[in-house]
Each structure stands twice: as C-alpha cells, then as structure tokens.
Amino acid sequence: MPFDIQRFHGDGAAAEPGLEQFPDTQRFLELLEGLAQPAGNGEEAPDRAAARGLFSWQDEVVVARAPGRLDVMGGIADYSGSLVLQMPLAEACHVAVQRHAPGPSPRLRIVSFRHGTAFELGLDELLPGGEPVSYEAAKALFRRDPSHSWTAYVGGALAVLARERGARFDRGLSILVSSDVPEGKGVSSSAAVEVATMAAVAAAHGISLDGRSLALLCQRVENSVVGAPCGVMDQMTAALGQEARLLALRCQPAEVQGWAAIPLHLQFWGVDSGIVHSVGGSDYGHVRVGAFMGLRIASQVAADDQQRSNGSDGSGDTPPIGGGYLANVQPSEWAARFEQRLPETISGAAFLQQYGTHWDAATSIDPDQTYAVRTPAGHPVHENFRVHAFRQVLAAPACGGAEQLEVLGELMRQSHVSYSRCGLGSDGTDRLVELVQEEHDAAVARGEEPALYGAKITGGGCGGTVCVLGVAGPRGEAAFQRVVQRYSQERRYEPKVFRGSSAGAAEFGHLVLRRRRAAA
C-alpha cells in the first residue's frame, strides 16, 4: 500500500485503523492504490481514466464510508413521527475527497464509478462572491444537465454546509464516489452517498459533525437540493447504524432511542423484487401529502369538538393533534374519534380552499390532483404501535421460540398489507411476501417448525426490496434460498440478496491518506 493511513473518529480524535471488519474499505483503498500508479498500455474505462486524473497523489486524501439500510419496521411512517427499526447493510458507499491547492477560479470536480462520467463546476456558480446560492438555485444548477442530475446528492453537501454551517470553500475540491449500495432497490443508496460525502467533505475542511447533525444535514441535501421528500430514517441509519443491531429511532424530529440487538437465533435478509423504487416518485409523494392532509383535517375535527365542548365561537389557530405527529395518536383514539370523520379522498383545490395548509414543508399540494386521505393518515397511527410491539417482542427471551417469531412475522405482514392499502405495493414485492408465507405454511403442513416467519415491503414502497424474517443458521438460509429460487424462476430475474450489516459513518469516522515518500 503506497499510503500512510490514519483513522479518526467523528470528533477528530485519532483511532486505531482497525479496518479488518471493513473488507469493502480495504478493496476501496486497493482501488485508490491502483489509481495512484501509472496507467498501463491497455485501453481504460472512461470512469477509471477520469478517476485516475482526479487527485494529486502527493497531497492528502480524506475517505469516509456510509452503509445502506434495510427497513425492518417503520418505513414511510417516519415523516409522521413513528418509531422505526433500521438495520445498516454490509453494502456501503465510499467517498474520497481532496482539497485543491489555492488558486484562482476554484472548481468542483466529481467522478462516480456508478455513473461513468465526470462532472465539473466552477465554485463561483454555487458560491458567488463566497456566499451560497439559495436551495432552489442550487437545485436548478445540478439539474441543468439531466445526465448529471445525480451530482446533486454529492455537490449538495457543499451547498448545505455553506448555508447551514457557514462553511466557505475557497479552494477547489475533487470528489470520487464508489458505492456498493444498488440504486432503485429501496435500500437508501442516496442516503449512503449523501452521508459519506458530507462526512468526507466536512472532515477535509476541519468541520466537526456528530452523527445526528451529519444525518440532518444530509436530509436537507435530499429535501432541498435533490428535491426528494424523504424522512430522516435513511440518513440516521447511514450515520448512526451499528453492526448486528437495529437502530431504534423516534422521528420527532430525530431522537435515537437506542440500538436493539438482533437475537442470535433469528436473522433478517433483504431480497430485491426487481421493480425499481424511487423516493421522488408520485405514489410516495401523494401518500405523504395525504397523510399530512389527514393530520390537518383531524386537527380541525379535534378543535371543533373542543369548541363545542367549551361553547366557544371557534376563533383562533387550529393546534395540531399529537403535537404535530400522527404517530402520537393511539389506534383506539384514532378509530373512535377521527377515522370515519376524515374523507376517503379530497381534491387538492378543495383542501386548499378549506384548510389552507397541510403543515409539511417538504411537499406541496397540487390543486388538480385528488389525494387519498383516510388510509395514508391511519397508516402511521397503526404502524407506530406495530413497531413498538415488534421491539418489545424482539427483546423477549429466546425461550419464546416459534411463538416469538410468529408474532414478529404477523406484525411484518400487517405492515405490508397497510402499505398496499396506501397504494404503495407492487406485484413483485407482494409475490415475495406470498412465497415466504407459502414456505412457512408448507413446513407447518409437514408438521415441522418453520424456518421463515414473515416479510414486508421496505422503504418508500412501490417496488424495491422485501425484508424477510427467519431463523438463523443453515435451516433458515436453505428456506430463504428456496424462496429466492422460486421467485427467480417465476420472474426470470436474478434478485439481489442482502445479508449482514456494518457500522455507520459516525462509528467508522474517516481516513486520511498520505502517499509514502520513497526511501532515500
């Protein structure tokens, strides 16, 4: 290895390299080692050629890492304040950053191995006169060339650090992105890129960020620069995840409630349906808008009830129920007081005329659209209860055996059905859940203890990855493989499988690479 490597914690304190638990990081460092060598005589792929000329290898390079995530429970209820349980994946994104030497007209240069093209931008366009442009202007800047729209996830870190932390970038930057987290699978490929980039850029500029702040800044990148209305669970998991544990996050706004150890007798897998998922898709956006419409209407219902009880005239502002979070409403109260008093659907124009606002800064209401309200608003109420129940059952002693797993599996299936009722299902994810249930039922019919117990769609839905629960060990693995093989044969598609987990960006910290000087 031609580099001297120093590892630092997120707070800047030196740490032991300890990279044995990160084989993907070792592979990334080997990749950088190859780029630091002279090119061979053969033809080189365009992205590798661009990466080879990206860095001055005599100067230090900062490397950060952030994993994708498997949504075990909680999913789309995060923006309504639910508790969520998230597992960081073994697959991760690595980002290497180098500051340029001082000089006139500093530039931002980005190369992504996934996208195969290089991007370059004068920093005076992003920071004219040293001051950051508005988020809308930054969004337009990265969308100027549709083929480079992916750069918003990377370059957005500079815009957000400048606006939120007062960072000033007086030197150019080179950024290399290499991610093993596949896109369109619902496993937070975007959050992995955002968190790894933000961590590396901040470290290169001496900006200290704790894990929570890192995640919130990256959510700002996705909401305000990319323009995708995501909650914060993806970025929190990429930043604060721990290996072999589920991050328990209460999204009000973002409050870590600990890490739930995954019991040794059970295992979670992820399996890709082959149906592309997008957080920015209209289905996810419509469901989110509908949920916030439901919050606004239910709050008006509660205010009207209170006014009738008090005999008041109804003047004054309408306070939101649940402190502004649907997840704070108990399912029994929802069913008794609100559910039947919310419309099934409402047009954007009618809502805006009657209520004015839906209290969600990340989305807007289209007057020409009709939105489902009752079902999307009820989902986070019930999902939050399911997630709390799941966490408690998960922590029960292993002597619960099959009964414990049956309860966990049923909670996952309930969550999956609720997604479908919201309009966020897909035939591929539904079929995977059915195959898991068929595998379970076949074992019962044979008089055997099942090896798989439940499954659910993950993330924003409408395709993507299914999370599967089963017993750990060869029996569970064999049953899981039978499901994957049946799905592959039926769909003529080889699904991506996710196994294992790894630490988040905060625990990883960052690496500083300096090329070794040749011996005299």
Question: Where do the domains of the chain lie, and which CATH numbers do they carry?
Answer: 3-68+87-245+502-515 (3.30.230.10), 283-378 (no CATH)
Are 260 and 111 in contact by the 8 Å Cβ rule? The answer is: no
Catalytic machinery residues: 234
Q: Report the C-alpha dihedral over residues 246, 212, 229, 286, rounded to 10 degrees.
A: 40
Calculate mean pLDDT across residues 368-377.
97
Flag whether pLDDT at 314 surpasses 50.
Answer: yes
Query: Nearest-CA neighbor of 387 among 415, 362, 406, 359?
Result: 415
85-125 confidence digits (pLDDT tens):
999 999 999 999 999 999 889 999 999 998 877 899 999 99
pLDDT-derived band at 45 (thresholds 50, 70, 90) equals confident
Percent of the chain topping pLDDT 70: 96
Whole-angstrom distance, CA of residue 146 vs CA of residue 64: 27
Can you tell me the distance from the alpha carbon of 111 to that of 427, in angstroms, rounded to the nearest whole number? 36
Q: Is 509 left (phi over 0), alpha (psi -120 to 50) or beta?
A: left
- Please state whether beta strands 107-112 and 173-179 pair in parallel, antiparallel, or not at all (unpaired): parallel
Q: Residue 520 has what pLDDT?
A: 45
pLDDT at 359 over 60: yes
pLDDT category of residue 201 using cuts at 50, 70 and 90: very high
pLDDT band (50, 70, 90) for residue 511: very high
Q: What is the mean pLDDT of residues 221-228?
A: 92
Q: Determine what percent of the chain is predicted with pLDDT higher than 90.
A: 77
Q: What is the spatial distance between Cα 253 and Cα 281, in angstroms, rounded to a whole number?
A: 23
The chain-wide mean pLDDT, for the chain, equals 92
Q: What is the pLDDT of residues 255-286, one digit of tens each?
A: 888 999 999 999 999 999 999 865 555 588 89
380 sits in which H/E element: helix 374-394
H-helix or E-strand spanning residue 10: none
Going by C-alpha positions, the residue among 114, 132, 248, 267 that lies closest to residue 181 is: 114
The tokens of 132 are what? 């950051």
Residue 340 Cα distances to 182, 243, 297, angstroms: 41, 43, 12
**Three-class secondary structure assignment of 194-225:** HHHHHHHHHHHCCCCCCHHHHHHHHHHHHHHH
CB 220 within 8 A of CB 191: no
- Judging by beta carbons within 10 Å of its beta carbon (0-12, 13-18, 19+), is residue 220 exposed, middle or buried? buried
pLDDT-based confidence at residue 400 (cuts at 50, 70, 90): low
Q: Amino acid identity of 199?
A: A
Cβ-count burial of 458 within 10 angstroms (0-12 exposed, 13-18 middle, 19+ buried)? buried
The whole-number pLDDT of residue 212 equals 94
Place of tokens 């366009």: 125
Range of weakest confidence among 36-40, 192-196, 339-343? 36-40
